[in-house]
Amino acid sequence: MLQLSNVSFRYMKKPILQDVSFSIPVGKIIGLVGENGSGKSTLLKVLSGLLRPSNGEVLLNGTPVTRRSADQIAYLPDTDLFFDFYTGEQLFQHYASQFEDFSYDKACIVAEFLNVDKNMKLGQLSKGNRGRMKMAATLGREVPFYLMDEPFSGLDPIVREQLIKGLIQFTDIENQTILLSTHELYEVEPILDQIILLQNGSIIAHEEVETIRDVTNKDAVQWMKTYYKKG
How far apart are CB 66 and another protein at their closest, in Å?
A: 31
Q: Which range of residues in 35-43, 77-85, 147-155, 215-223 is near another protein by CB under 8 A?
A: 215-223
Please tell me the number of Cα atoms within 13 Å of 11 on its side-chain side: 9
* 185 interacts with another protein by CB under 8 A: no
From the list 20, 46, 114, 192, which residue makes contact with another protein (rule: CB under 8 A)?
192
- Nearer Cβ to another protein (150/189): 189
Out of 168, 175, 225, 226, name the contact with another protein by CB under 8 A.
168
CA dist 100 and 226 (Å) reads 44
Q: Minimal distance in Å, beta carbon 217 to another protein?
A: 5
Looking at 25, 27, 64, 154, which residue binds another protein (CB under 8 A)?
A: 27
**155 binding another protein? (CB under 8 A):** no
Decide if residue 28 touches another protein (CB under 8 A): yes
Of the two residues 112 and 161, which places its CB atom closer to another protein in the complex?
Answer: 161
**Minimum distance, C-beta of residue 61 to another protein, in the bound complex (Å):** 22
Chain residues that interact with another protein, rule: CB under 8 A: 27-29, 161, 164-165, 168-169, 173, 189-193, 209-210, 213-214, 217-219, 222
